[in-house]
């Protein structure tokens, strides 16, 4: 499809309407779509959807993947969505409905824990409101090609499910690793996800010929690597990190910082950081290395 054809219709656009029961995780789902590079709008009035798509056609913005949060919070949603959704589909819009739900017990527990007010709450109980909303949305649920029950999903699991189902890019997401050396005397890096203390290794600072050098220079590298425990430590620590990285990736992390510290951040931590970088690169991870305190006087 050329640019002119795209500009004259909706057929090149993917619109996912995220809807469902209050408390079922719609806000989490919208955040997951944002992470997937969808253009997202939460609580868009359904009557504005045709105008929104028309404005998208006229805009210079390259918006081809859109996720819209719509639900019973918007007063005219229930009465308006059938006609508007059908009209857009007849015009060729690729409109998908993602319906989120959960059991009455799970929803009641979530409202109790967060102390949020259910949008339909009146003179009855929260459970009454949940049942009322479920009944009002039953026709919309029937329209949805995809229904997700979030009763037993935490936020991380729901985000991973959205990512698997709706990713724009077919390639597998890769965990990017940054290994950072630092000196404990200057404080622990705030961005660190994993911290390793290598002050148990002999300190080159106390060797006169090495004191004014740093861990990027060959005499210091040779000194640290010749120590009895260095290679055994690197082997064990690399095994641990190699075990942990897929676990972090499963939790949705795209970037991870491993901070390696010694006293001043000039000698031991710098050598170990560079060695760990090589080890992880050899295991296939995209990895960078930095040295926060190597130039500190």
String of DSSP letters for 79-108: HHHHHHHHHHHHTT-EEEEEEEE--HHHHH
Closest CA to 267 of 195, 204, 180: 204
Mean pLDDT for all residues in the chain: 88
Assign residue 28 the CATH number of its domain: 3.40.50.300
Do 111 and 216 reside in the same domain of the chain? no
Over 80: is that where the pLDDT of 3 sits?
no
> Is pLDDT above 80 for 19?
yes
pLDDT in tens, 127-150: 999 999 999 999 999 999 999 999
The pLDDT of residue 7 is 40
Same domain, yes or no: 155 and 27: yes
With b for 16 or more beta-carbon neighbours within 10 A and e for fewer, the 232-263 pattern comes to: ebbeebbeebeeebeebbeeebeebbbbbbbb
Q: Which of 135, 166, 197 is the last residue of a domain?
A: 166
Report pLDDT for 221.
97
Do residues 190 and 147 share a domain? no
The residue that leads in pLDDT, 285 or 173, is 285
Residue span of the structural domain in which 263 resides: 176-291
| Per-residue pLDDT, 277 | 94
pLDDT band at 255 (very low <50, low <70, confident <90, very high): confident
The tens digit of pLDDT for each residue in 85-110 reads: 999 988 888 999 999 999 999 999 99
pLDDT at 10 over 60: no
At 288, give phi and psi (nearest 5°): -125, 165
pLDDT over 50 at 72, yes or no: yes
Same domain, 136 and 204: no
Cut 0.95: pTM above it? no
- The residue with tokens 């404005």 is 55
Q: CB neighbours (10 Å) of residue 73?
A: 14
Residues 169-207 have pLDDT tens digits of 654 557 889 999 999 999 999 889 999 999 999 999 999
Residues 153 and 29 in one domain: yes
Residues 6+ apart with CB under 8 A from 23: 102, 107, 110, 111, 116, 118, 130
Q: How far is CA 106 from the centre of its chain?
A: 24
- Asked whether residue 160 is domain-assigned, the answer is yes
Residue among 234, 235, 231, 205 nearest 219 (CA): 205
Token pair for 296: 């500190």
* Same domain assignment for residues 85 and 189: no
Q: What confidence tier does 266 reach under pLDDT thresholds 50, 70, 90?
A: very high
Identify the domain boundary among 114, 136, 166.
Answer: 166
Distance CA 294, CA 182 (A): 8
Task: Identify whether the C-beta of residue 249 lies closer than 8 Å to the C-beta of residue 193.
Answer: no
- SS3 state at 33: helix
Q: Is the pLDDT of residue 259 over 60?
A: yes
Q: What is the DSSP string of 146-166?
A: EEEE-TT--HHHHHHHHHHHH
Are 8 and 150 part of one and the same domain? Answer: yes
């Amino acid at each position: 499809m050329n640019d002119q054809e795209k500009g004259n219709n909706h057929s090149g656009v993917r619109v996912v309407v995220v809807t469902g029961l209050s408390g079922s995780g719609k806000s989490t789902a919208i955040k997951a779509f944002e992470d997937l590079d969808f253009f997202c709008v939460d609580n868009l009035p359904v009557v504005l959807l045709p105008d929104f798509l028309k404005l998208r056609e006229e805009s210079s913005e390259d918006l081809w993947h859109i996720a819209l949060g719509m639900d019973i919070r918007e007063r005219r949603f229930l009465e308006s969505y059938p006609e508007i959704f059908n009209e857009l589909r007849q015009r060729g819009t690729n409109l998908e409905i993602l319906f989120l739900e959960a059991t009455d017990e799970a929803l009641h527990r979530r409202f109790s824990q967060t102390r949020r007010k259910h949008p339909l709450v009146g003179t009855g109980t929260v459970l009454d409101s949940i049942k009322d909303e479920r009944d009002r949305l039953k026709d919309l649920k029937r329209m949805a090609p995809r229904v997700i029950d979030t009763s037993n999903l935490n936020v991380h699991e729901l985000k991973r499910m959205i990512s698997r189902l709706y990713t724009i890019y077919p390639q597998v997401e890769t965990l990017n690793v940054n290994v950072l050396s630092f000196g404990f005397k200057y404080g622990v890096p705030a961005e660190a996800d994993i911290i390793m203390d290598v002050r148990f290794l002999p300190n080159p600072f106390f060797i006169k010929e090495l004191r004014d050098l740093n861990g990027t220079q060959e005499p210091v590298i040779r000194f640290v690597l010749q120590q009895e425990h260095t290679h055994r430590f690197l082997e064990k620590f690399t095994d641990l990190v190699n075990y942990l990285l897929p676990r972090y990736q499963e939790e949705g992390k795209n970037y991870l910082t491993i901070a390696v510290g010694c006293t001043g951040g000039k000698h031991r931590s710098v050598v170990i950081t560079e060695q760990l970088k090589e080890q992880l690169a050899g295991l296939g991870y995209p990895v960078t290395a930095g040295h926060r305190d190597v130039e500190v006087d």
